[in-house]
Amino acid sequence: MKRIGIIGAMDIEIELLLGRIELQRKEKIAGFVFHLGKLCGKDVIITSCGVGKVNAASCTQILISKLGVDGIINTGIAGGLHEDVEVCDVVISRDVTHHDVRKKQMKNWFPHQEYFEGDRKLIEAAEKAFENSDVINSSCHLGRIVSGECFVDDTQLKEQIIEGYSPHCVEMEGSAIGHVAHINDVPFVVIRSISDKADEEASVSTKEFEKITAQNSAAVVMNMMKIL
């Protein structure tokens, strides 16, 4: 991969990376600020897309069509859903999907696949990078990441999502990024660190852990640059 697009939803999710980029220039398109430069010697474009799938999809398409990236990494925080996943752990996307799109609708769009698969090379780089990273209190999991247009802070919705998709974690952008990457035939991976358990305590937990978990995920992404 020659030039990798790195997307966080919120500024806090790319802060660590922007602190390390050798910045060449910035471009503003459709309100997104794209930081072009080198990260650990690798050509990258780092940006924050804002929360939600529409922002994420739009930003991903610009990275591909206008800025010519040939690989995409989504970094950030997520709510843990799998019983093995603890706050501060890192989840790497084996695959992603929308939890708020009917399965029947997904079948109409993509008759042969319910999920968008993470790229093998990016997954392996992320797993290796995790081992070399200074992540705090964290184990690494490979699993399904699902996204939807809501912050999940309710046990009933959490249980429904688990029942429907058997995911490791939930967030609000990864499936849109995977969807757009897939239709453009561009490899992608989503990397998330767990800020909460997607239950009634989720908002409080996210406030407490968002900085450290955003940094956990970004630290893995940074180390990936030394491998790719």
Q: Which of 29, 101, 151, 208 binds ligand ADE (CB under 6 A)?
A: 151
For ligand ADE, the closer of residues 10 and 36 by Cβ is: 10
Shortest Å distance, C-beta 84 to ligand ADE = 17
For ligand ADE, the closer of residues 64 and 78 by Cβ is: 78
Q: Which of 39, 146, 172, 181 binds ligand ADE (CB under 6 A)?
A: 172
Q: Name the E strands within 112-224.
A: 116-117, 140-147, 169-171, 188-196
Amino acid identity of residue 114, one-letter, is E
- Ramachandran angles phi, psi of 14, nearest 5°: -120, 0
Shortest Å distance, C-beta 172 to ligand ADE = 5
Alpha helix stretches (DSSP H) within 26-173: 53-65, 103-109, 120-131, 155-165
Report if residue 13 touches ligand ADE, rule: CB under 6 A. no
Q: Sketch the per residue contact string, 38 through 77, with ligand ADE: x for CB under 6 A, - otherwise.
A: ---------------------------------------x
Burial of 135 (0-12, 13-18, 19+ CB in 10 A): buried
Q: Which of 95, 196, 199, 210 is catalytic?
A: 196
Q: Which of 13, 89, 95, 119 is catalytic?
A: 13
Burial of 194 (0-12, 13-18, 19+ CB in 10 A): buried
93's CB contacts (< 8 A; 6+ apart) are 118, 123, 143, 144, 145, 174, 178, 189, 190, 191, 192
Q: Sketch the per residue contact string, 202 through 221, with ligand ADE: x for CB under 6 A, - otherwise.
A: x---x---------------
Piece of 27-35, 93-101, 195-203, 220-228 that binds ligand ADE (CB under 6 A): 195-203
Structure tokens at 12: 């806090």
Q: Dmax of the chain from CA atoms?
A: 47
CA angle (165 as vertex; 144, 138 as ends), nearest 5: 35
Mark whether 100 is an active-site residue: no
Q: Which of 152, 186, 220, 224 binds ligand ADE (CB under 6 A)?
A: 152
Mark whether 201 is an active-site residue: no
Catalytic residues: 13, 196
Q: Give the residues lining the site for ligand ADE (CB under 6 A).
A: 77-79, 151-153, 170-172, 195-196, 198, 202, 206
